[in-house]
Amino acid sequence: MHKALVMEADACTGCHQCEMMCSYGKVGAFNISKSVMDITAFDGGALNVPSTCTQCEGAWCMVVCPVQAITVNPATGAKEVSAEVCVGCKVCTIACPFGAINYDPDSGVVTKCDLCGGAPMCVEACPTTALAYMAEDSTGYEKMRRHAVMSAGLPEGTA
Amino acid sequence: MSWTGKILRVDLGAGTCTSEPLNMQWANDYMGQRGLATKYLVEETDPKVDPFSPDNKMIFATGPLTGTIAPTSGRWSVVCKGPLTGAIACSNSGGFFGAELKNAGWDMVIFEGKSASPVYLDITNDKAELKDASDLWGKSVWETETELRERRGDPDVRVASIGLAGENGVLYAAVVNDMDRAAGRSGVGAVMGSKHLKAVVVRGTVGVKVKDPMAMMKTSNAAKEILAENAVTGQGLPTHGTQVLMNVINEVGALPTRNGHDVQFDGAHDISAEAMAEVRESDGQANLVSNHACFGCPISCARRSKIDPTHFTVKDKPKYQIVSGGLEYEAAWALGAANGVNDLDALTYANFVCNEQGLDPISLGATIGAAMDLYKVGAISKEDTGGHALEFGNTEAFVAMVEATARGEGFGKEIGQGSRRLCEKYGHPEFSMTVKSQEFPAYDPRGIQGMGLTYATSNRGACHLRSYTVASEVLGIPEKTDPLVTEGKAGLVKAFQDATAAVDSSGTCVFTTFALSGEDIAPMVDAACEGDWSVERFVEVGERIWNMERQYNIAAGFTGADDTLPERMLKDAAKTGPAEGKVNGLSEMLPEYYQLRGWDDSGVPSAETLARLGL
């Protein structure tokens, strides 16, 4: 079974460590403008929402690509862009409902999360529990458990 | 390597922006940020310059670790000669602006001269130009930042600007970035205003490279683990922010209260971290909304707060009924305990106003406290204060003074001059709790002896961030010392001063030093920068910087006689708490400190010391 990248806005402090690590993996420099993970801040950072590609099973980006530049990595389930094949037509950026694939004018191709081959660097960098990499069939269970604790009126963190 | 190797020189008189190579010899000797910018200032300006003269320069500086994966890599500094003190000024800020400037490819920006009319500097990577800011002059920090972001049409730009305080020459005006992070102390915002520079807006997409990326990741991850496991940086600061200290310092008997008349405040709990988290009746919310991180910071000590919408300070004022930068310990103390005010929402409002108009809450709060002392003895009256009974604990009068100072109106003009000038003007210089004209921060030197020496010898005037011996004397970091004894404090202060000068020059935050030592930080600098950065070299750079700043101040006219404390700290004993009956024993510490520094009896660095440090 593949693993999925899970993002929890409640735990995100907006520090951008994930974006720095992501950009390092993508372009070899700490440069959050090149990160494919993005943090959107609300209320001046009181709420921070991390977002990136969730690796759709029937990925719109992959379906619409006219040159088959996007393929599935069987090991991780990630939809990966081949920089050699991509022609920079940007149709995938229009097709993606989440805006998780974007064109990089410096390289002339689109860029998106590839799960770093199965060891996402953003997860390693995150100093809180905002990012996790877990079995794709259990991403909701942690939330359900927290909701159960809350419903039972027990203190946060009760096992 | 982690220096970009480029500095931007902005001649405000000529209206030009030019790129020049960084002096790598100086970078090797002074690292970056505080040290490197001060070296440029020392080399390029006369220490006797009028701080508001076009001949004073102002430098925005990043460090070699700014913008890297190193934890707390969002730090940057503003360096100039300070108008409050007449000494070297170096104010350090977090947020996101510094990392953006580094990402645009600049180690520093040097501002020189003065523009004939208001301007702002617009930077996108290697393109930089001055633009007209006539329509921004008179606007607040909040308005300016919002307007520039909209004008650029890019939500990712970062802005540093001044509000009305900087424009009006308030001697402790701040430069504020990212709405509520500030290069707060010593009046760097007033120098910016004197140059008619309203703001700097920057967008950087070049990125930051380091010498050895794998070593950078390894050393940064090791540092992050230590920070996460430490009780202060892993639990106390993320949960409570710096406000974790309010009840602690009050119990220690070192919370300066009512302009230093007392060392404990009966209203301390009301303005503490614990109070910020309490749910209020009116709207079922707490003052504290969440914590927040600066760029690259795993600690996330910053607070986001919302004032009770029914509170008298914000009722019918929607612009303050927002979530914004909440109280930190220094602000809560200065605006609260120093004035005997225990109204949490009033203090939060005052803090919002400080962010909005660019004021240092420490100097503002402490100066209002001094004014209350003047009012108490009848040196000023309602005629001076615009009809306000400026008594200790009078929340309404306190709020009125904050607003008047921010707007530059009425008695606010006097408060805007700082407590030393205010108290001298009204005949009671002894009421001013300052060193080198800069107001004390939130630790009473009678209850924490090392902080007396810290304030007396700080190169930028009274300051806790030059050698935070509270870490040792109260928190037991790196080892516990008795806060009530003077023995051993000279060495402690020197060690903290040198280490802090190095950290302040690296691009990381001094708060990491609750958990990290030079043994952890120097390897990150070594991974980022060319040359071998050993712990010994790291600390030696700190000592070199300290002595360079001292030399600057001596050339500016300061002497050993300025390394002192107000008489209230030296003669009036603490009335309550563990320090009851104690005064600060500065005279027991200062001679030993000079000796350890390699300075003569009058506090002048010896020729041998200067030669040893290559000065």
What pLDDT, on a 0 to 100 scale, did the predictor assign at position B182? 98
- What average pLDDT does range B43-64 have in this prediction? 98
Q: Which CATH code for domain B6-203? A: 3.60.9.10
Is residue B1 predicted with pLDDT exceeding 80? no
- What average pLDDT does range B282-300 have in this prediction? 95
Kindly write down the DSSP assignment for every residue of B81-110, as one continuous string.
E-TTTSSEEEEEE-SSHHHHHHHTT-SEEE
- What is the rounded distance in angstroms from the CA atom of residue B455 to the CA atom of residue B463? 6
Query: What letter represents residue A77's amino acid?
Result: G
Decide which of 3.30.420.40, 3.10.20.30, 3.40.640.10, 3.30.70.20 is the CATH code for A56-110: 3.30.70.20
CB contact under 8 A, A45 and B293: yes
CB contact under 8 A, A44 and B294: no
pLDDT band at B162 (very low <50, low <70, confident <90, very high): very high
Is residue A145 predicted with pLDDT exceeding 90? no
In this structure, whether the domain defined by B445-514+534-612 belongs to CATH 1.10.599.10 is answered with yes
What pLDDT, on a 0 to 100 scale, did the predictor assign at position A153? 87
CB contact under 8 A, B298 and A20: no
Is residue A156 predicted with pLDDT exceeding 80? no
What pLDDT, on a 0 to 100 scale, did the predictor assign at position B517? 96
Is residue A48 predicted with pLDDT exceeding 70? yes
Side-chain half-sphere exposure of B243, counting CA atoms within 13 A: 32
Q: Which of A17, A21, A45 sits opposite B292 (nearest CB)?
A: A45
Kindly write down the DSSP assignment for every residue of chain A, as one continuous string.
--EEEEE-GGG-----HHHHHHHHHHHSSB-GGG-SSEEEEEGGGTEEEEE-----TT-HHHHH-TT--EEE-TTT--EEE-TTT-----HHHHH-TT---EEETTTTEEE---GGGGS-HHHHH-SSSSEEEEETT-TTHHHHHHHHHHHTTPPTT--
Q: Which of A14, A30, A127 sits opposite B68 (nearest CB)?
A: A30
User: Are the beta carbons of B439 and B419 closer than 8 angstroms?
Assistant: yes
- What average pLDDT does range B113-132 have in this prediction? 98
All CATH 1.10.599.10 domain ranges of chain B, comma separated, are: 445-514+534-612
Q: Which CATH code for domain B239-438? A: 1.10.569.10
- Kindly report the average pLDDT of chain B as a whole number: 97
Q: Which CATH code for domain A1-52+113-159? A: 3.30.70.20
For β-strands B119-124 and B158-161, DSSP reports them as: unpaired
**3-state DSSP: chain B helix, strand, coil percent, rounded to 5?**
45, 15, 45
All CATH 1.10.569.10 domain ranges of chain B, comma separated, are: 239-438
- What average pLDDT does range B30-38 have in this prediction? 98
| Among B2, B101, B102, B209, the residue to mutate for chain A (most A Cβ within 10 A) | B209
Is residue A142 predicted with pLDDT exceeding 80? no
Q: Which of A28, A44, A127 sits opposite B324 (nearest CB)?
A: A44
What pLDDT, on a 0 to 100 scale, did the predictor assign at position A159? 61
Minimal CA–CA distance to B405: which of B361, B448, B449, B373? B361
Residues of B in contact with A38 (CB under 8 A): none
| Among A30, A38, A128, the residue to mutate for chain B (most B Cβ within 10 A) | A30
Is residue A138 predicted with pLDDT exceeding 90? no
Is residue B451 predicted with pLDDT exceeding 80? yes
User: Are the beta carbons of B442 and B334 closer than 8 angstroms?
Assistant: yes
Side-chain half-sphere exposure of B451, counting CA atoms within 13 A: 29
What pLDDT, on a 0 to 100 scale, did the predictor assign at position A140? 86
Is residue B97 predicted with pLDDT exceeding 90? yes
- What average pLDDT does range A31-58 have in this prediction? 94
- What is the rounded distance in angstroms from the CA atom of residue B174 to the CA atom of residue B167? 11
Q: Would you list the domain boundaries of chain A?
A: 1-52+113-159, 56-110
CB contact under 8 A, B69 and A17: yes
B175-177, strands of its sheet edge to edge: B127-132, B119-124, B197-203, B158-161, B175-177, B181-183
- What average pLDDT does range B291-308 have in this prediction? 96
Q: What is the pLDDT of residues B197-221, one digit of tens each?
A: 999 999 999 999 999 999 999 999 9
Residues of B in contact with A43 (CB under 8 A): 289, 304, 322-324
Q: What is the pLDDT of residues B486-540, one digit of tens each?
A: 999 999 999 999 999 999 999 999 999 999 999 999 999 999 999 999 999 999 9
Is residue B229 predicted with pLDDT exceeding 80? yes
- What is the rounded distance in angstroms from the CA atom of residue B360 to the CA atom of residue A154? 42
| Among A10, A12, A18, A20, the residue to mutate for chain B (most B Cβ within 10 A) | A20
* Residue found under tokens 């000068």: B501
Q: What is the pLDDT of residues B266-276, one digit of tens each?
A: 999 999 999 99
Interface of B with A (CB under 8 A): 67-69, 71, 96, 99, 103, 156, 178-180, 204-210, 213, 217, 221, 224, 227-228, 289-298, 300, 302, 304, 322-325
Residues of A in contact with B304 (CB under 8 A): 43-46
pLDDT band at B41 (very low <50, low <70, confident <90, very high): very high
Query: Which regions of B31-183 does DSSP assign to beta strands (E)?
Result: 58-62, 76-81, 88-93, 108-112, 119-124, 127-132, 158-161, 175-177, 181-183
- What average pLDDT does range B53-63 have in this prediction? 98
| Largest Cα–Cα separation, chain B | 66
Percent of chain A with pLDDT over 90: 82
What pLDDT, on a 0 to 100 scale, did the predictor assign at position A64? 97
